[in-house]
Structure 1
Amino acid sequence: MNPEAWVALALSLKVAAWATAINLLLGTAMGFALARWRFPGRELLDALLTLPMVLPPTVLGYYLLVLLGKRGWLGGWLHEQLGITLIFSWQGAVVAASVVAFPLVLKSARAAFENVDPQLERAARVLGLSEAAVFMRVSLPMAWRGILAGVLLAFARALGEFGATLMVAGSIPGQTQTLSIAVYEAVQAGQDASANTLVLITSLSCIAVLLSARWLAPQRSAA
């Protein structure tokens, strides 16, 4: 395998790992909030947060460009106040992958928390546990299976993200060119051998993630 493929693989894994970590925190928190809190517009908020799952990647990438570009309100503020430019950077690829994969963690976490018996949480409060303790000692341990499933699927989705990442981060070899983008560039250049190698690496990486999901769940449940 040529060095460029290793670089693309390493970058893809880094982007997917960061995106998954972000989604683990935000998706779990938002899933818990939607499962436990009742407020007007809750289902509308859920629909808006799930929108990246159904939007075409190019449309999502355009929204991110408008938001994160130097003329966008967020991108402009980051550039002027903090000197941060997300467009055409690996951090921009992380943002794109995070947004695309976020609904997978959100929906799984919400369903997992909704399946936790509220009576167990009320019993814990009666015993004097704080809300944080109830979450850490009752809600989260009983919902971890669903959250883990969503996290692993989100990692696989972030690893294979193409459309939004290409629009936001571009295709800079060694900097923003992930495996999926490298496959596209190889096909465009007529480099069939490189494309076949990259496709094989991507497929094996995704299979490894799915096998990890199968392996991790029994290990955790046995513990």
Structure 2
Amino acid sequence: MSRWQAENIGVDIGARSIVLQRGARRSALNAAGGDWAALGAELAQALPARARLSVRVADRWSRTFLLEAPGGIASLRDCRLLLDARFEALYGQAPADWLLQADWQAGAPMLACAIPRALRQALAGFALARLQPALLHDWNRHCAALPADGVWCAAADGVVNLLVWHKARLQLVRQQPGTDVEGLLALEMARLGMALPAARFWSGPAAPAGWTPLEAAA
């Protein structure tokens, strides 16, 4: 690699541990998830200044949700206000402490996400190729290979994520603490007034009966 070329490095921030991916090499950091100042300091010591980071943030530390703009919302300022209000209503946390982004589009539900602002500040000394919640990262990676109707559950570290789509359009994104996947799924499908899709995909520890590992959809 040229001394002038940025080195592409993956940073996988898990619920408890943080792992660097440099080519085929993987190594664990001493810093733990949630201690963003310690993470920034350790990265500054371990990595070259020209490192370019692709950061995947566990659902324990990030938020992903669905946002639907009502008619009449047009200006970027109104969209930002709507995003902040939706986040605070869902999570009861101050939007100012988070970096919020959405895939702005008219006439369709939008995926929105939030990353702790303190984490972004800890990474300020590095070029970022990507900074994404794990849920959004995995959805973008696999969604093109999924059928037009389906449900995907990502369950790990005491967090359940549920995504439901119909005719290739997201209908639901639910993220909450817990482990009762079947109960949450039954409740949300009843709220949507939809039958359970035949295609059910799973990420996490061993897939329950009737669920297909998400990686098998590729």
Structure with higher RCO (Cα < 8 A, 6+ apart): 1
Which structure has the bigger radius of gyration? 1
TM-score (norm 2): 0.26
Greater per-residue helix proportion: 1
